[in-house]
Amino acid sequence: MVCKISDLRARMRANQRLIGLWCSLGSATAVEALSTIPYDWFLLDMEHSPNELGDIIDQMRVLDSSSVAPMVRPPCNDRVLIKRMLDAGVKNFLFPYVQSVEEAREIVRATRYPPAGVRGVSVAGRAAWHGTRPNYLQEAGDEIAIGIQIETLEAFGAIPGIAALPEVDMLFFGPADLSADMGMLGQADHPEVRAQIVRGIEQVRTHGKMAGVLAPNLEAAGVYAQAGAQFIGIGSDLGSLRAQAQNLLNAAGQFTA
């Protein structure tokens, strides 16, 4: 099998609690090492990291032999880039900075073949096992998970319409950009930001969709889980690396005391 069939969308639609890790180091080796830990998903980031599509393919390849599902965040919501990512085997997407229902609708169309959408037709890529996957053209849309990021106050107003799109599986709140939009740059865990996200999570759940969030810390993750978030990012590869290295250095201070 060239790339594994993804069950993340089915797990999302079953409303399972799914815990993930942000991966922005651009290292397939780091992703492979971390995949020995049973997270539900890794977010392979192209928006705020130097990952290019070839790097993402390498990271997805190492995850093919693990239980961790790769989700990819594109650098922008461009239909040509989305087409290339789909052909390369990306099945689970987190689309950044979506501001309106129309933008979300166009994203959905970019992930579907005609007549439901505008995705260009090809079976040459990894997604179709280089032309050997039976019925790929007919079944591809069933496997694609779509997460939409809500990162501004304006986007909060679009939540009902975005949640009403049947192809959208999850609405995901980004505390960093939201805090900036609220005039609190760098204060992702400010009480007002947290309260706004809690209201958003409750609204998403009212409309019958999965709510997700990247929590600034574990205490915040607990608050968001209590509010109804089921798709929760609890840290990053970079943060984990730095924290453990700092902890080791702090502990080594006893040798020089």
Active site residue 48: yes
Dist CA 225 CA 215 (whole Å): 10
Please report, in angstroms and rounded to a whole number, the separation of the first and last CA atoms in the chain. 56
SS3 145: strand
Contact 234, 23 (CB under 8 A): no
Reading the block at residue 126, the tokens are: 């990894």
CB 68 within 8 Å of CB 35 = yes
- CB-facing half-sphere around the CA of 63: CA atoms within 13 A: 32
> CA nearest 209: which of 145, 253, 151?
145
The Cα–Cα gap between 45 and 50 comes to 8
Any idea what DSSP says for residue 15?
T
The catalytic residue among 48, 130, 190, 207 is: 48
| Catalytic residue numbers, as ranges | 48
